[in-house]
Amino acid sequence: MASQIRLEHLTKRYGAVTAVDDLSLTIPALGVFGLLGPNGAGKTTTLEIVEGLRTPDQGQVWFGDLDVVRHPHRAKALFGVQLQTSSFFELLTVSETLELFSSFYPKHIATADLVRRFDLTEKATAQVKTLSGGQRQRLALAAAMVNDPEVVFLDEPSAGLDPQARRHLWDMIAGLKAEGRTVILTTHYMEEAETLCDQLAIIDHGTILAVGRPQDLIRERLPGSLIELAPSVALPDGIRFAAMTALDRGEEAVVIHSSDLSKTLVDLVAWAGGASVDLAGIRTRGSSLEDLFLSLTGRSLRE
């Protein structure tokens, strides 16, 4: 039976830098859970503490009733891990690599099955050094699955992949979820978070800013719609439109937040007509994770 993972008051410092700051979080069993945040937010450190790879300065991690901080060795046998920069012996073949990792675990899946499942059949007897980026990433995923784990940790699984390889990887991650495993991944790609994750924690400066289903988070935190205008549109300071809740003057666009799109639009068009302002390029959309992230952290994910 799958268990949830509880992170309680985790703190990890590196010298003067606090990478994880009194972080508490409950990750439900089953489904895909995403830690979303910019580089340096503390995602990887948090993940590695949960994996049993790092010891926190303070706090506890529970996998069901297993104390991960105290018994990392037991936890590691149950977890599957793909590290952000994990690499393998370049001169071993794909099959040999998977067999080597299998030998580390009490319980394991047959290498031939893993090779087939992660689309590595034609590379099974090729040395790791000959693999492409996408193939390496699939090998890393296969190596994370050798022990048939209940929980799979993926740290930036699609970093550096081209869009096609990324899609391919997402299908495989969705497959893990369909098998009834818990998948915990970090990402700074909005699309990945929206496509894959059942639940998200938005993390920055080592603390959790928001947790929930992506759509719920957006609906609760950023209800309403957005109107984007070209940055050349000169809105006077202090201007207000009907049902407008906020106004962002970005470099790429001027964004009007609205709680009632039609009311705001009518008001905006009336103002533009009176002031002879050209609204060419105007578009409206619902709030996205990107907007949510921006409103929570004050910075863009891509920074």
Partner 1 sequence: MTATLALVRALFRTYTRNRQGLFWSLFFPVVLMLVFGLLGNSKAISINLAVAGGSPAFQHEISTALAHSTIFKVKEMTPTAARAAVRAGSEDAELLLPAILTPGQPAAITLYYNNANQVAAGQTVGAVQQAVGAINLALSGRPPALTVSPQPVSGSRSFSYLDFLLPGLLALTIMQGCLFGLATGLTRWKEQGVLRRFLATPLRPVQFLGATVINYILTNMVSVVIILIIGVDFLHATVQLPILPLLLAVVLGLAAFISIGFLIAGQAKSQEAVVPLVNLISFPMMFLSGVFFSPASLPPFLATVVSFFPLTYLANALRGLMSGQLVGLAPALWGDLAGLAAWTALGALIAGRTWRWE
Query: Helix, strand or coil for residue 15?
Result: coil
55, 87, 130, 300: which one binds partner 1 (CB under 8 A): 87
Residue 26 found at the interface with partner 1 (CB under 8 A): no
Residue 180 CA to residue 150 CA, distance in Å, equals 8
Contact (CB, 8 A) for 156 and 84? yes
Judged by CB under 8 A, the residue of 16, 65, 85, 251 near partner 1 is 85
Select the residue interacting with partner 1 from 3, 4, 127, 288 (CB under 8 A). Answer: 127
Binding residue for partner 1 (CB under 8 A) from 143, 145, 233, 292?
143
Q: Please, what is the Cα angle at 83 between 290 and 138, to 5 degrees?
A: 90
* Interface of this chain with partner 1, residues 42 to 81, rule: CB under 8 A: 51-53, 73, 76-77, 79, 81
Question: What tokens were used for 150?
Answer: 């209940």
11 versus 86: smaller Cβ distance to partner 1: 86
Token digits for 247?
Answer: 């106004």
Min CB(74)–partner 1 separation in Å: 8
> 């201007």: which residue's tokens?
239
**Sign of torsion over alpha carbons 167, 171, 176, 177:** positive
Q: Which of residues 90-109 bind partner 1 (CB under 8 A)?
A: 90-92, 96, 99-101, 103-106
Residue 126 sits in the site that holds partner 1 (CB under 8 A): no
Both tokens of residue 93? 């073949």
Local structure of 187: helix, strand or coil: strand
The smaller minimum CB distance to partner 1, of residues 81 and 190, is found at: 81
Tokens of 66: 């297993």
Cβ nearer to partner 1, comparing 68 with 294: 68
CB of 98 to partner 1, least distance (A): 11
Rounded distance between C-alpha atoms, residue 35 and residue 48, angstroms: 12
Residues engaged in binding partner 1 (CB under 8 A): 51-53, 73, 76-77, 79, 81, 83, 85-92, 96, 99-101, 103-106, 127, 143
